[in-house]
Amino acid sequence: MTRLADTLRALHAAITGAAPVESASGLVVDGGVPARDRLGVYAYAYTARIADVLVHDHPKLDALVGSLRPWVPAYLRAHPPAHPSLREVGAPLARWLAAQGEPAHVVDLAALERARLEAFDGGADITPLARADVAARAPEDFPGLRLRLVPSARVVTMTSNADELWDALEDERPAPAPAAAPGRAVVVWRRDVTVVHRTLEADEAGVVSRLVDGLTFAAACEALADHPAPEARAVELLLRWLDAALLAGD
């Protein structure tokens, strides 16, 4: 068993680039084709297949930078797959790009596309809270009305206009120049079978980020205390979220 484990480790290292392909040549029968070439097929397929997944999951980022593929070998050395599903292979991509010193808009765009992927799988099998559900409540129950985001929702905090870049690429129009946008927040969620996202207004962002864990309507009003009319603003936002199917029902 120990010998088998050592063999598998050596083969894995050669295929994934953790060791030179030649290091495992003794494990492969020549058969008329050099062992290095035989192993090279698997080594190439390993990187190419994962590159396909990353491009598929980050199409706007791939278009923006020209191609993600040249980054893949270094990315995989830093973050080799640790999950049976290839869906998870891109989870650390935004963090890795930041560590490489890539511009903020590149990092933010990676994070946004990852959030959109997660939102698609994030549980759309619930009935969102609707206006009729809220209207049926007695006025005295409003302060304690519990508000929380649907399970698919993700809030992405940015420092750039990556959301505008995504929109431009999606609409096939010229992208704006990358620009700093400290504190920008985007909410991503699944509506029926479609993933959507929206850039939040500054005061709205402070409330929506707290809706992940749930927030009462009274607490939402308190969070908007700096607004000239916090209660009216809270009602305005509540109606906006209800119409967007962004809030979870009981």
Q: What is the pLDDT of residue 6?
A: 84
HSE-CB for 179 with a 13 A CA cutoff: 9
Q: pTM value? A: 0.89
SS (H, E, C) 161-202: CHHHHHHHHHCCCCCCCCCEEEEEEEEEEEECCEEEEEECCH
Question: Which fold is adopted by the domain 123-250?
Answer: Outer Surface Protein A; domain 3 (3.90.930)
Residue 75 near residue 61 (C-beta atoms within 8 A): no
Residue 117 and residue 60 in contact, taking contact as beta carbons nearer than 8 Å:
no
| Torsion angles phi and psi, residue 128, rounded to 5 | -65, 155
Residue 58 in contact with residue 96, Cβ under 8 Å? no
Chain region(s) in the chain for CATH 3.90.930: 123-250
* Sequential pLDDT tens for the chain (250 residues): 568 888 888 888 888 877 888 787 777 776 777 777 778 888 889 999 999 999 999 999 999 999 999 999 999 999 999 888 999 999 999 999 999 999 999 999 999 999 999 999 876 567 899 999 999 999 899 899 999 999 999 999 999 999 999 999 999 999 999 999 999 999 999 988 899 999 999 999 999 999 988 999 999 999 999 999 999 999 999 999 999 999 997 6
Per-residue model confidence (pLDDT) at position 125? 62
E strand or H helix at 94, and its extent? helix 93-99
18 backbone dihedrals φ, ψ, rounded to 5°: -75, -20
Q: Tell me, what's the pLDDT at 99?
A: 98
Beta strands 154-160; 180-191: pairing state: antiparallel
Tokens read off for 19? 């060791």
CB burial string 191-224: b at 16+ within 10 A, e below: eeeebebbbbeebbbbbbbbbeeebebebbbebb
